[in-house]
Amino acid sequence: MRPRGAARPAWILQFHRRFPKSRLAEPMSRHTTFHIGGPADAYLEVETEAELAKVCRFARRRRLPVFFIGWGSNLLVRDGGLRGIVARLRGEFDAVRFDGVRVFAGAGVRLPALVSACARRGLAGAEPLIGVPGTVGGALVMNAGTREGEIGDLVKSVRVLDRKSLKGALLKRRSLRFGYRSSNLDKRVILGAELELKPGSKVDILERIKNLQQRRLQTQPVHTFNVGSIFKNPSGRFVARLIEEAGLKGARCGGASISRKHANFFENHGGATARDVLDLVRLVRGRIRRRYGVELEPEMRIVGEA
C-alpha cells in the first residue's frame, strides 16, 4: 500500500491527461461482486481496440502492469489495492454477433446476457452459463461453468491482443487448452471469442434456463455480496460438503462469513475487508487439511497489496 500522503508517481497524472475518462485512486470495492477492495492507481473503461492498444503502449513504455477485470466476480482485491492500471473492456467489447450456429461475443459481454441472446435465436448449449456472474473474457481465462457444462466446451477460436504488435490475433481451437477452472489464456488479453452452439427448440432451451435459475436460487446465496465459489473441488469430492462436515458453515471473521446456504460461498455482510475473507480462507484450509488431509486450492483470484 502506498503510504498515506505520499506523492503520486508522475505516470498517474500523465495517464489521466492522456485518458481523461480514467479515475485515479478508484476503490475496487465498486467493481467487484464482493464489494471489497482497496484503490487502483488508475482505472479506465476501454471502449475500442484502438484505445486498448494506446493503453497497453502507454503501460509498456513505463513498464507498468495492466490488470483486466470483467464483472468483478471470482475476484478478491486486497485492502491495499492495485498498483498500475486497471482496465475494464466495454463499448465494442460488449457486442454479440450471430452467423448461423456460430456466435461471436466480445470479451465484455456478460454471460447471462449471452445465454439469453442465444436462447432467443433457438441456439442450445450455453444454458449452463446462465448463473455464472461473469463476462466472456473472464470466463475463458478460468473456463467458467457448472457441472452441466463449461464455456470451453463451446469455443471454436479466441481473439486476443498480440503483446508485440498490439493488434488482434486469432487463436484456433487446436492451440487452446481448457481444464477444470483453468486455461492457457491466463496471460493473454482476450478481445472476444467465437462459440459454436446447436440448433434447438426455443421452448426447451428457455425451460432449461428456468430450471437452472430456480436451482441456483434454492442452493446459492444469490442476493448477498459474494464472488461465487471460493475453492475448487478436490478430485472426486465436493468442497462444500467437506466444509459443512467440518462444522464451519456460518463461521465468521469480521464482516465476512461462510454462507449457511452454500458452504463454498463467503458473504460480505457489509464492511468486510479482504483480510476478513483471507482469515476465513486460512481457517477453512487449515481445518480441512487437518481433518481430511486435503489441500484446498482457491478458485477465486486473489490480487493486490495487503
- Reference 139, options 203, 182, 85, 88; nearest CA is 182
Say if 11-87 and 223-303 have the same CATH topology. no
Tell me the pLDDT band of 24, cut-offs 50, 70 and 90: very high
At 3 the pLDDT is 63
* Mean pLDDT calculated for residue range 83-97: 98
- Fold observed for domain 223-303: 3.90.78
* Mean pLDDT calculated for residue range 137-147: 95
Catalytic positions, please? 181, 229, 299
Q: CATH number for the 11-87 domain, one of 3.30.43.10, 3.30.70.2500, 3.40.640.10, 2.60.40.420?
A: 3.30.43.10
Instruction: Please name the residue ranges forming H helices in the chain.
Output: 10-18, 49-62, 111-120, 136-142, 202-219, 239-245, 274-292
Tell me the pLDDT band of 7, cut-offs 50, 70 and 90: confident
* Mean pLDDT calculated for residue range 170-187: 97
- Reference 28, options 68, 64, 61; nearest CA is 68
pLDDT 10s digits, 203-262: 999 999 999 999 999 999 999 999 999 999 999 999 999 999 999 999 999 999 999 999
Instruction: Please name the residue ranges forming H helices in 121-227.
Output: 136-142, 202-219
pLDDT at position 6 over 80: no
- Reference 143, options 108, 106, 112, 111; nearest CA is 111
pLDDT at position 296 over 80: yes
Residues in the chain: 306
Q: What are the backbone dihedrals phi and psi of residue 95, each rounded to the nearest 5 degrees, phi first?
A: -85, 145
- Fold observed for domain 92-218: 3.30.465
Domain ranges of the chain: 11-87, 92-218, 223-303
Residues 6+ apart with CB under 8 A from 118: 103, 124, 125, 126, 197, 205
Residue 212 has which C-alpha cell? 437452472
At 278 the pLDDT is 99
